């Protein structure tokens, strides 16, 4: 127990990220199922109240983005990146532990809002965030949202932002500085490359949302008017700030999955990735363009024809590097010897589904066309094809691929295939009909709709699909759990992968590599035209390896942040100061700690 | 799958009567322009979809691993191919971008000179319409003359809302402190449905609206009716008793009835009896729904600021009779 609480080992932190994020994924999924159950009938549904429904969809979005998808990617960053670049750990192991604890506590803080009602003299299920995951001003002002709901949201997101920023800096430094000899930038595995790009997006996008949240906090706690037209402020300013973060955030969610697919496809088709440099550069181009498209979320706010034209144009441009990636993935499969493992099925599923999300994206990149689509279920369909069909299928491909490396145990392939087909059928049944309900006039974020709209059938299909996804996820959960009681007998390289993580045992020893390998090619474990496969590493370290011990201080420092947030929530300055004290003492002791217990 | 979608599209366009908020049955120049643009992009998307998914399916069908097969040739890339599949999507995008830019400027919200101007003001959770040139107002139900250019100026009294009547045009947000515009010309008479599209709090789902597009003469009749003073109930009628109930109840704090009360919190009720719906186009305007609404509005529309009213059954009947008399 103590070894897990004080751990600074990137592999243990990776597993902590995985299980925590998976837990939040189940919670977010449960929220989605209640939403879908409510919408199965028009005119009142199953009786979920408007207030509860608004909390459910707000928390579903917030949970999936910040507590499930980002940290599931982070589980792989933590576990896999140091192995792929031939390092013993990340650059700042204690900062890494700090990121995890801040993430966990921020997630618990946000979800505590579901049961915290009685503390505010209200019912349970009445003080959770309820203004949408995008929290548009001026609905979030004290005047229109007097309760603690929005406070939970803005404080929780600020805590989570600290976790993401700390991890972002950590991984940029790790990837740039901790590479094994010979691991030049253009020899990095594509997953590592996409992680690097993602982390640059994190460290540039999160400050923007942090600023926006701080301004919102001032509006709510200290009576300023940054977003309030009644005091000369501007609610559209919030939308600009939020989407300057929010659009890069989409690429923060999708690029790691693209990286995973770029690892899985070559391994299971026994061919190197087609157009490696093009795939890498198109990822970089997507990230750059991702900065110039934020206002396409705001076409209905009336930005004027010039701005609409510019943002429609930049948004369409993104289709080009994305298309290039897809063609390169198909070309990787072309001419290969494809093994249909569960991991490969999910990777192919990713491509097939992401195409649909990408194409519906083009229909609302066109600003006038978007005026009939934005804020309807058509957009709900689009984001779920991108974030479920894209990110989640990609993450599943990664889990089946790397689980043996992370735990030493292979997942069941037959359960895996059931999981895959149920998920694929379920997601199409859930999300495809949403295109129709949207274009037939069903707005998003409504707890009830008129039977006369004629969209009840489509909603019923969506609900059936959502529950199929739920069943598939339970099967997957069982697949994960059952490996715990199986012998840890996965071979070092069960799939015949080419990258460095497959050169060491499964699971890797605490020091990762007995000797740091010297890299001479992009595919070190494969025979290529010019390079023989790397010579196997020795079984035992030839010289003793110094491995840093654990530390309590990252966790203790992290605890200070929710204490500050609780103080702010309750308007009790002494608690805020106590929390700040914990952070300061924690950082001080951390800085002066001899890091070799 | 996209083929199924195309067939469904045709099917939906054919029977739009069942889908009062469908974007596939446009009835104005604005919505027709948007539908045309969408159809154009849609077919490009179908073509790309079929082509790319076919490639993917062929790849996984043709190149499954076979036992004993030789190791595949380690191909690392192909420059000509890369250039080709960068240029091809760029070229397709030109065919989408050009009509898009054209449509952006064509639908930028400026009606020609002499258009009928309507101001839309969003409230949590109902709509206020003002006709500055006609000097009348309407609530939740917008009446417009057919084949007449309409200039809509929009703003909000509180949070952000979005005015959306799919068959007449795309949505625009209503933002406090700003004025947004759309312009359109409805090409056939009828009843068109819409609702708020921007999440605006507890009863966002219940903020609905109707647009009645009428012939010039019918529209003029409606305007005259709105301009007239509210009906005065006949002596001794239930409606007269209802007016007395109205005058001595909390109603007058929030609602206006010209000559009777001047509340400004809720919609003006001077002509409420002539409307087809109540409560933000949520319920048909019937004796039964008026009863339920007056007794407990928040139970029917969560968050509604009209508190439950404690009125005796006789008073309630009288009150409803009075409201219904206000044609």
Instruction: For residue range A73-102, list pLDDT tens digits in order.
Output: 999 999 999 999 999 999 999 999 999 999
**B212: closest CA of chain A, how far (Å):** 17
- Residue of chain B whose alpha carbon sits nearest to that of A314: B97
> Residue A272: helix, strand or coil by DSSP?
coil
Q: Do A312 and B104 touch (CB under 8 A)?
A: yes
What residues in B contact A323, CB-CB < 8 Å?
A: 85-86, 88-89
Q: Do A363 and B198 touch (CB under 8 A)?
A: no
Q: Which parts of A113-189 fold into alpha helices (H)?
A: 149-177
Q: Do A305 and B105 touch (CB under 8 A)?
A: yes
Q: Do B104 and A454 touch (CB under 8 A)?
A: no
Does the structure show a pLDDT above 60 at B208? yes
Does the structure show a pLDDT above 90 at B18? no
More confident residue, B92 or B75: B92
Best of A277, A333, A336, A372 to mutate (most B CBs within 10 Å, chain B): A372
- First vs last C-alpha separation in chain B: 51
Q: What is the pLDDT of residues A370-416, one digit of tens each?
A: 999 999 999 999 999 999 999 999 999 999 999 999 999 999 999 99
Residue boundaries of the structural domains of chain B? 2-106, 116-227, 238-325
**A186: closest CA of chain B, how far (Å):** 13
Q: Rounded CA gap, A439 and A298, in Å?
A: 19
Q: Are strands B261-262 and B277-278 parallel, antiparallel or unpaired?
A: unpaired
What residues in A contact B206, CB-CB < 8 Å?
A: 50, 448
Q: Rounded CA gap, A441 and A452, in Å?
A: 11
Q: Do B93 and A275 touch (CB under 8 A)?
A: no
User: Alpha carbon of A166 to those of A6, A10, A83, A211, A552: distances in Å?
Assistant: 18, 14, 20, 16, 17
Q: Do A443 and B164 touch (CB under 8 A)?
A: yes
What is the pTM (predicted TM-score) of this model? 0.95
| 0.95 surpassed by complex ipTM | no
Q: Do A230 and B176 touch (CB under 8 A)?
A: yes
Residue B152: strand pairing partners? B118, B182
Q: Rounded CA gap, A121 and A315, in Å?
A: 47
User: Alpha carbon of A303 to those of A210, A298, A365, A585: distances in Å?
Assistant: 24, 8, 15, 48
Q: What is the pLDDT of residues A227-270, one digit of tens each?
A: 999 889 999 999 999 999 999 999 999 999 999 999 999 999 99
Q: How confident is the model at residue A138 (pLDDT cuts 50, 70, 90)?
A: very high
Predicted local confidence at residue B15, as pLDDT: 46
Question: Environment class of residue A438 by beta-carbon count within 10 Å: exposed (0-12), middle (13-18) or buried (19+)?
Answer: buried
Q: Nearest 5°: phi and psi at A130? A: -140, 20
Q: Rounded CA gap, B321 and B247, in Å?
A: 14
Q: Which of B18, B45, B124 sits opposite A362 (nearest CB)?
A: B45
Secondary-structure class of domain B2-106 per CATH: mainly alpha
User: Alpha carbon of A221 to those of A122, A568, B263: distances in Å?
Assistant: 20, 9, 32
What residues in A contact B82, CB-CB < 8 Å?
A: 275, 278, 324, 328
Mean pLDDT of B126-146: 96
Does the structure show a pLDDT above 90 at B231? no
Could you tell me if A254 and A201 are in contact, meaning their C-beta atoms sit under 8 angstroms apart?
no
| Residue at token pair 């370290």 | A541
Predicted local confidence at residue B5, as pLDDT: 57
Q: How confident is the model at residue A531 (pLDDT cuts 50, 70, 90)?
A: confident
Does the structure show a pLDDT above 50 at A312? yes
Q: What is the pLDDT of residues B242-252, one digit of tens each?
A: 999 999 999 99
Lowest-confidence pick of A55-59, A495-499, B73-77:
B73-77
Q: Rounded CA gap, A501 and A183, in Å?
A: 13
Provide the percentage of residues in chain A whose pLDDT is more than 70. 99
**B53: closest CA of chain A, how far (Å):** 6
Query: Cis omega (within 30 of 0) on the bond before A521?
Result: no
Does the structure show a pLDDT above 70 at A559? yes
- Of A369, A309, A458, A445, nearest to B166 by C-alpha is A369
Q: Which of B37, B160, B197 sits opposite A376 (nearest CB)?
A: B197
User: What is the per-residue DSSP string for B223-257?
Assistant: HHHHHSPPPPPPTTSHHHHHHHHHHHSTHHHH-EE
Query: Cis omega (within 30 of 0) on the bond before A359?
Result: no
Q: How confident is the model at residue A434 (pLDDT cuts 50, 70, 90)?
A: very high
- Of A123, A119, A151, A144, nearest to A49 by C-alpha is A123
Q: Rounded CA gap, A351 and A323, in Å?
A: 10
Burial A233-252 (b: 16+ CB within 10 A, else e): bbbbebbbbbbbbbbbbbbb
Mean pLDDT of chain A: 95
What CATH number is given for B238-325 in this structure? 2.60.40.420
User: Alpha carbon of A403 to those of A211, A483, B277: distances in Å?
Assistant: 38, 10, 59
- Of A327, A297, A328, A301, nearest to A315 by C-alpha is A297
More confident residue, B10 or B180: B180
Could you tell me if A73 and A198 are in contact, meaning their C-beta atoms sit under 8 angstroms apart?
yes
What residues in A contact B169, CB-CB < 8 Å?
A: 371
User: What is the per-residue DSSP string for A75-93?
Assistant: HHHHHHHHHHTT-SS-S-H
Mean pLDDT of B308-317: 93
Predicted local confidence at residue B75, as pLDDT: 87
Q: Do B173 and A301 touch (CB under 8 A)?
A: yes
Q: How confident is the model at residue B11 (pLDDT cuts 50, 70, 90)?
A: low
Could you tell me if A12 and A97 are in contact, meaning their C-beta atoms sit under 8 angstroms apart?
no
User: What is the per-residue DSSP string for A354-371?
Assistant: HHHHHHHHHHHHSHHHHT
Q: Do B20 and A453 touch (CB under 8 A)?
A: yes
What residues in A contact B175, CB-CB < 8 Å?
A: 229, 235-236, 301-302
Q: What is the pLDDT of residues B153-201, one digit of tens each?
A: 999 999 999 999 999 999 999 999 999 999 999 999 999 999 999 999 9
Secondary-structure class of domain B116-227 per CATH: mainly beta
Kindly list the strands in the beta sheet with B208-214, ordered across the sheet, starting from the edge strand earlier in the chain. B141-145, B208-214, B190-195
Q: How confident is the model at residue A482 (pLDDT cuts 50, 70, 90)?
A: very high
Q: Nearest 5°: phi and psi at A267? A: -60, -45
Q: Do A300 and B160 touch (CB under 8 A)?
A: no
User: What is the per-residue DSSP string for A212-223?
Assistant: HHHHHHHHHHH-
Does the structure show a pLDDT above 60 at B266? yes
Could you tell me if B159 and B201 are in contact, meaning their C-beta atoms sit under 8 angstroms apart?
yes
Provide the percentage of residues in chain B whose pLDDT is more than 90. 85
Listed in sequence order, the residues at least 6 apart from A318 whose beta carbon sits closer than 8 Å to its beta carbon are: A286, A289, A290, A293, A365
Within this chain, domains B2-106 and B116-227 share the same CATH topology? no
Query: In A481-528, at which residue ranges do the beta strands (DSSP E only) sit?
Result: none
Q: What is the pLDDT of residues A341-357, one digit of tens each?
A: 999 999 999 999 999 99
Q: How confident is the model at residue B254 (pLDDT cuts 50, 70, 90)?
A: very high
Predicted local confidence at residue B9, as pLDDT: 58
Provide the percentage of residues in chain A whose pLDDT is more than 90. 94
Q: Which of A278, A366, A528 sits opposite B74 (nearest CB)?
A: A528
Residue B137: strand pairing partners? B130
Best of B20, B90, B171 to mutate (most A CBs within 10 Å, chain A): B171
Q: Which two tokens stand for residue B118?
A: 């309507």
């Amino acid at each position: 127990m103590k070894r897990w609480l004080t751990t600074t080992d990137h592999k243990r932190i990776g597993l902590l990220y995985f299980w925590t994020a998976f837990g939040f994924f189940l919670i977010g999924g449960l929220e989605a199922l209640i939403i879908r159950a409510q919408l199965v009938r028009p005119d009142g549904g199953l009786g979920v109240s408007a207030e509860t429904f608004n909390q459910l969809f707000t928390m579903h979005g917030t949970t999936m983005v910040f507590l499930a998808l980002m940290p599931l990617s982070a589980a792989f960053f933590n576990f896999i990146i140091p192995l792929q670049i031939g390092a013993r750990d990340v650059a700042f192991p204690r900062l890494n532990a700090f990121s995890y604890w801040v993430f966990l506590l921020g997630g618990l803080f946000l979800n505590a809002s579901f049961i915290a009602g009685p503390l505010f003299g209200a019912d349970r299920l009445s003080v959770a965030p309820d203004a949408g995951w995008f929290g548009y001003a001026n609905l979030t002002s004290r005047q229109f949202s007097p309760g603690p709901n929005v406070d939970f949201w803005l404080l929780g997101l600020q805590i989570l932002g600290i976790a993401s920023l700390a991890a972002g800096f950590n991984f940029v430094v790790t990837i740039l500085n901790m590479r094994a000899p010979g691991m030049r930038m253009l020899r990095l595995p594509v997953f590592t490359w996409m992680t690097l790009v993602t982390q640059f997006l994190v460290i540039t996008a999160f400050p923007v949302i942090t600023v926006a949240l701080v301004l919102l906090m001032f509006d709510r706690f200290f009576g300023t008017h940054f977003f309030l037209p009644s005091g000369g402020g501007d609610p559209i300013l919030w939308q600009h700030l939020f989407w300057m973060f929010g659009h890069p955030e989409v690429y923060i969610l999708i690029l790691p999955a693209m990286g995973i697919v770029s690892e899985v496809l070559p391994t299971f088709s026994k061919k190197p990735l087609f157009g490696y440099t093009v795939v890498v550069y198109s990822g970089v181009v997507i990230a750059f363009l991702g900065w110039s498209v934020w206002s396409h979320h705001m076409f209905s706010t009336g930005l004027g024809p010039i701005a609409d034209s510019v943002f429609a144009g930049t948004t369409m441009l993104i289709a080009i590097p994305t298309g290039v990636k897809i063609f390169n993935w198909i070309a990787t499969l072309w001419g290969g010897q494809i093994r249909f493992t569960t991991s490969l099925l999910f990777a192919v599923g990713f491509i097939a589904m992401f195409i649909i999300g990408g194409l519906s994206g083009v229909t609302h990149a066109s600003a006038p066309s978007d005026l009939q689509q934005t804020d309807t279920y058509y957009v709900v369909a689009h984001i779920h094809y991108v974030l479920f069909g894209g990110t989640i299928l990609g993450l599943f491909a990664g889990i089946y691929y790397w689980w043996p490396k992370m735990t030493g145990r292979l997942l069941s392939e037959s359960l895996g295939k059931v999981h895959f087909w149920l998920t694929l059928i379920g997601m199409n049944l859930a999300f495809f009909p949403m295109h129709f309900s949207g274009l037939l006039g069903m707005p998003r974020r409504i707890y009830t709709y008129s039977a006369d709209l004629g969209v009840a059938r489509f909603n019923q299909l969506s609900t059936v699909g959502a529950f199929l996804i739920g069943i598939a996820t339970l099967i997957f959960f069982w697949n994960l759990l059952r490996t715990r009681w199986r012998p840890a007998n996965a071979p070092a390289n069960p799939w015949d992968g080419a990258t460095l993580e497959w050169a060491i045992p499964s699971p890797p020893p605490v020091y990762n590599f007995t000797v740091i390998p010297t890299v001479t090619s992009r595919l070190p474990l494969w025979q290529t035209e010019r390079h023989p496969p790397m010579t196997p590493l020795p079984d035992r370290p030839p010289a003793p390896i110094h491995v840093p011990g654990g530390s309590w201080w990252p966790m203790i420092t992290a605890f200070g942040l929710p204490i500050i947030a609780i103080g702010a929530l309750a308007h009790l300055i002494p608690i805020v100061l106590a929390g700040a004290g914990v952070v300061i003492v924690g950082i001080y002791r951390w800085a002066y700690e001899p890091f070799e217990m | 799958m996209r083929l199924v979608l195309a067939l469904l599209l045709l099917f939906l366009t054919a029977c739009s009567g069942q889908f009062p908020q469908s974007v596939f049955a446009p009835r104005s120049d604005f919505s027709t322009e948007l539908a045309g643009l969408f159809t154009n992009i849609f077919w490009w998307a179908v073509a790309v979809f079929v082509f790319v998914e076919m490639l993917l399916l062929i790849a996984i069908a043709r190149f499954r691993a076979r036992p004993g097969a030789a190791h595949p040739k380690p191909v690392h890339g192909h420059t000509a191919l890369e250039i080709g599949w960068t240029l091809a999507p760029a070229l397709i995008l030109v065919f989408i971008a050009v009509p898009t830019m054209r449509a952006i400027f064509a639908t930028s919200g400026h009606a020609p000179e002499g258009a009928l101007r309507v101001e839309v003001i969003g409230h949590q959770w109902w709509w206020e319409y003002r006709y500055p040139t006609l000097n009348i107002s309407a609530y939740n139900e917008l009446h417009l003359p057919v084949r007449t250019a309409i200039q809509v100026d929009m703003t909000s009294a509180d949070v952000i809302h979005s005015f959306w009547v799919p068959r007449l045009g795309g949505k625009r947000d209503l933002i406090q402190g700003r004025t947004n515009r759309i312009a359109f010309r409805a090409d056939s008479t009828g009843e068109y449905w819409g609702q708020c599209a921007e999440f605006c709090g507890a009863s966002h789902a219940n903020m609905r609206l109707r647009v009645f597009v009428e012939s010039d003469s019918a529209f003029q009749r409606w305007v005259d009716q709105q301009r007239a003073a509210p009906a005065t109930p006949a002596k001794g009628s239930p409606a007269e008793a209802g007016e007395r109930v109205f005058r001595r109840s909390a109603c007058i704090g929030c609602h206006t009835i010209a000559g009777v009360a001047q509340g400004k919190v809720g919609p003006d009720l001077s002509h409420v009896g002539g409307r087809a719906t109540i409560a933000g186009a949520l319920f048909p305007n019937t004796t039964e729904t008026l009863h339920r609404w007056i007794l407990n509005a928040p139970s029917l529309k969560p968050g509604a600021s009209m508190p439950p009213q404690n009125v005796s059954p006789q008073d309630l009947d009288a009150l409803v009779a009075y409201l219904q008399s206000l044609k």
